[in-house]
């Protein structure tokens, strides 16, 4: 960023994310759902009973993170894991009845938070913000795939 201090921008973006997560935690806490469960819940609400491998492929998280999340969700009574009878290496993840009943209240909580966050913003504002965020995300993804190499002798000068 040339005219604006990019550090200030990203500090504000980080603050927005923290505040959003805090508000989300408050809303979901009443339902006994953690924000980290949402991606798994939404995927399983679309297609219940998929394998853990399929779940990892469909989500942008590491296998270890998913495993820890599933452990907590199982502890909290939201999922069950069962071994495939034909291939014991595969674990099928299924939502419990409690998790199925949470779909509507969770969506309502997210809608409520979305309405709060978006209050006073026009559709154009939201589209523009989304486009900018997508552009920045694409740049960060490509940066991680092919990081820019900085020559040390140029930095030292």
The Cα–Cα gap between 60 and 104 comes to: 24
Residues paired with 92 in a beta bridge: 51, 82
The answer regarding whether domain 35-96 maps to CATH 3.30.70.100 reads: no
CATH 1.10.10.10 segments of the chain:
35-96
Tell me the pTM.
0.80
142 falls in which pLDDT band (50, 70, 90)? confident
pLDDT digits (tens, 9 = 90+) for 78-125: 999 998 787 777 889 999 999 999 999 999 999 999 999 999 999 999
- Per DSSP, 37 falls in state G
The Cα–Cα gap between 75 and 30 comes to: 17
pLDDT digits (tens, 9 = 90+) for 15-54: 999 999 999 999 999 999 999 999 999 999 999 999 988 9
Instruction: For residue 42, give both structure tokens.
Output: 């939404």
Residue 140: the pLDDT is 86
In the block, which residue shows the tokens 């995300």? 137
């Amino acid at each position: 960023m040339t005219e604006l201090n990019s550090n200030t921008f990203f500090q504000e973006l980080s603050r927005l994310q923290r505040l959003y997560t805090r508000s989300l935690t408050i809303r979901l806490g009443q339902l006994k759902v953690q924000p980290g469960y949402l991606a798994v819940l939404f995927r399983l609400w679309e297609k219940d009973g998929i394998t853990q491998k399929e779940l990892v492929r469909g989500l942008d998280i590491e296998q270890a993170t998913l495993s820890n999340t599933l452990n907590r969700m199982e502890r909290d009574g939201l999922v069950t894991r069962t071994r495939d009878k034909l291939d014991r290496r595969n674990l099928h993840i299924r939502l419990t009845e409690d998790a199925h009943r949470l779909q509507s209240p969770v969506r309502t909580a997210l809608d409520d938070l979305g309405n709060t966050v978006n209050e006073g913003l026009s559709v154009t504002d939201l589209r523009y913000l989304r486009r900018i965020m997508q552009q920045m995300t694409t740049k960060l993804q490509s940066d991680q795939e092919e990081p820019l190499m900085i020559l040390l002798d140029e930095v030292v000068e």
